[in-house]
Amino acid sequence: MDKLNGSQLQLKANDIRQDIIEMLLEAKSGHSAGPLGMADVFASLYFNVLKHDPTDSKWEGRDRLVLSCGHICPVLYATLAESGYFPKEELKTLRKLDTRLLGHPHNLALPGIENSSGPLGQGLSQAIGMALALRMDHKSNRVYCICSDGEQNEGQIWEALMFAGKNRLNNLTVILDRNNIQIDGFTEDIMPLEPLKQKYEAFNFHVIEIDGHNTDAIINACMEAKAIYEKPTLIIAHTIPGKGVGFMEYDFRWHGTPPGISDVPGSPPKKEQAARALKDLRTLRGQIVGEHQ
């Protein structure tokens, strides 16, 4: 697969965001803010950084991407479909009966899914196990683990970090979605995480902080991680929840509506809201094209 960069990646991320809105509208359930916010990261990974082959999802030379925060799976599904792992038409089956696109990913359901996820905090341990196994087998494959900031509240995260730091897993890159929201509100109100960078450094991680919407910064950070030989790397990707959709941005309610609460504004978008969201994204796409003509 040829690598994309610059405006090509911005346009690909915009396509992924439009797919996310259409998926959630059809499903009538699911999470909006997180998937929209991570579209630039996923576009950069799958269309520039990762070694992977959509025609052979079990290729031994592939890098592994572990999604720890499984609730943002719409962005993973949309990216896999854009990459050619399965037909884009299947995106409309999200969360429906007998679908392969479950509400949280299952590694046996779809090609390209490396881990099953659901309970937050467990994906990092899965990724560490993969990274250690690859190193024991003298493989050069890398493991990328996508985590949310809210799941840093889980104790298992910090146990896993101790293990990764102690074993100097330099083939592990953790990308943390620092969007500052979780289902009950803002992270710094629910359970303050800062100073996050210094905490990871104390666990023997090399830490890079970036704008999670700058595709050049995302790619450069992943390249820097490959050059760090003595320890694992954390990339703190500062993102805007709901990125690209004006009325969703920065609003924690679009993380996801708690089960059983239907009268609270928030995820997923209803028909009129989805139309507004797609209008915003199509306008943004036009601006991207205009800037690079």
The tens place of each residue's pLDDT in the chain, 293 residues long, gives 789 988 999 999 999 999 999 999 999 989 999 999 999 999 999 999 999 999 999 999 999 999 999 999 999 999 999 999 999 999 999 999 999 999 999 999 999 999 999 889 999 999 999 999 999 999 999 999 999 999 999 999 999 999 999 999 999 999 999 999 998 889 999 999 999 999 999 999 999 999 999 999 999 999 999 999 999 999 999 999 999 999 999 988 888 875 555 556 677 899 999 999 999 999 999 999 988 76
Strand partners, 175: 146, 235
- Is the pTM of the predicted complex or chain greater than 0.85? yes
**Is the CB of residue 141 less than 8 Å from the CB of residue 61?**
yes
Q: How far is CA 4 from CA 8, 43, 108, in A?
A: 6, 9, 29
Q: Where are the domains of the chain?
A: 7-291
Residue 271, CA atoms < 13 Å, CB-side half-sphere? 0
Angstrom distance (rounded) from CA 233 to CA 165: 10
CATH of domain 7-291: 3.40.50.970
> Which amino acid, residue 230?
E
Q: Supply angle C-alpha 93, 123, 108, rounded to 5.
A: 40
- For 226, other C-beta atoms within 10 Å of its C-beta total 13
